[in-house]
């Protein structure tokens, strides 16, 4: 499986699970702090996995790709909906994953009354009630990503809260997100829709049984993944778990703020 690499090529291996929508380029946020701290950040192109591969087989293929690429133990970082994939893959790699750093984590929707608090409520509700209409919506998003990514950017961030409202004014941030949106749908819509559908299904019990240390980094003003999602996951996860409460930060602003702190923590383990 192809992957993008950031930081120090000779450094300690860390695997990054991008969000949804997302692409491996999302991990570029970690490039500078990873170089400084001697870390090698790898983000696998999981959306490129063949469409018929779903369920546990999907996570097994990701785990196999990581094991074939990284020798020895490894740390995981994930962002947003990448939480589900990271936890499921970690469960398939007993003894190999040292720690998980879950940023703006998305918990399962059946874990509480989260949906009403989410900016993406309409999208998730549509995917649950009407898969056909949801697929039409995703195709429309893919078309916008290809032809007018700036418009799709404005639509997605129209509800930005907290420090995300400042972040969306940054030309560098807009350029990165537009690139990520284009890459997300470059091979079609299958990868995106598969992650959404699997996220909406009941998570396996093993996803909450990771032996690795877990740290949840979450902004208090996050309206994409409400802060309560990290509180829920902290209660469910059986490993040594802590929550880093990021005051005033929202979804992507939490990612940017957490990146250097996570890299420093991983380097000093």
Number of domains, the chain: 1
User: Which whole number is the average pLDDT over 244-253?
Assistant: 98
Parallel, antiparallel, or unpaired: how do β-strands 39-44 and 12-17 relate?
parallel
Q: Is the pLDDT of residue 68 over 80?
A: yes
State residue 129's pLDDT score. Answer: 95
Domain of residue 250: give its range: 3-267
Q: Which residue has the higher pLDDT, 92 or 269?
A: 92
Q: Give the strand order in the sheet containing 39-44.
A: 3-7, 39-44, 12-17, 74-79, 97-103, 213-219, 241-246
Distances (CA, A) of 256 to 15, 21, 31, 246, 260: 17, 17, 11, 11, 8
Longest CA pairwise span in the chain (Å): 48
Question: What pLDDT does residue 53 have?
Answer: 97
pLDDT grade, residue 25 (50/70/90)?
A: very high
Whether the per-residue pLDDT at 165 is higher than 80: the answer is: yes
Q: Report the b/e string of 96-133 with b at 16+ CB within 10 A.
A: bbbbbbbbbbbbbbeeeebeebbbbeeebebbeeeeee
pTM of the model: 0.97
The residue-averaged pLDDT of 5-11 equals: 97
In this prediction, residue 111 carries a pLDDT of 87
- Average the pLDDT over 131-137 and give the result: 96
CATH code of 15's domain: 3.40.50.1820
pLDDT band at 238 (very low <50, low <70, confident <90, very high): confident
pLDDT confidence of residue 204: 94
Model pLDDT, residue 214: 96
């Amino acid at each position: 499986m192809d992957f993008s690499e950031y930081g120090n090529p000779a450094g300690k291996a860390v695997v990054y699970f991008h969000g949804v929508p997302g692409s491996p380029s999302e991990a570029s946020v970690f490039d500078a702090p990873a170089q400084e701290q001697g870390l090698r950040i790898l983000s696998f192109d999981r959306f490129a996995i063949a469409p018929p591969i779903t369920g546990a087989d999907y996570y097994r293929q990701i785990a196999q790709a990581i094991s074939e690429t990284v020798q020895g133990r490894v740390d995981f970082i994930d962002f947003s909906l990448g939480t589900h994939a990271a936890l499921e893959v970690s469960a398939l790699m007993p003894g190999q994953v040292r720690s998980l750093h879950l940023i703006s984590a998305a918990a399962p929707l059946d874990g509480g009354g989260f949906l009403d608090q989410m900016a993406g409520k309409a999208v998730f509700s549509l995917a649950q009630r009407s898969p056909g209409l949801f697929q039409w919506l995703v195709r429309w998003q893919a078309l916008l990503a290809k032809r007018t990514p700036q418009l799709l950017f404005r639509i997605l961030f129209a509800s930005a809260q907290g420090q995300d409202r400042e972040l969306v004014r940054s030309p560098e941030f807009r350029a990165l997100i537009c690139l990520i949106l284009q890459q997300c749908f470059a091979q079609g819509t299958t990868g995106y829709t598969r992650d959404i559908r699997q996220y909406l299904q009941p998570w396996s019990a093993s996803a909450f049984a990771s032996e690795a240390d877990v740290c949840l980094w979450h902004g208090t003003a996050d309206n994409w993944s409400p802060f309560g999602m990290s509180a829920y996951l902290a209660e469910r996860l059986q490993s040594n778990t802590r929550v880093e409460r990021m005051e005033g930060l929202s979804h992507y602003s939490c990612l940017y703020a957490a990146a250097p702190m996570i890299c420093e923590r991983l380097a000093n383990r």
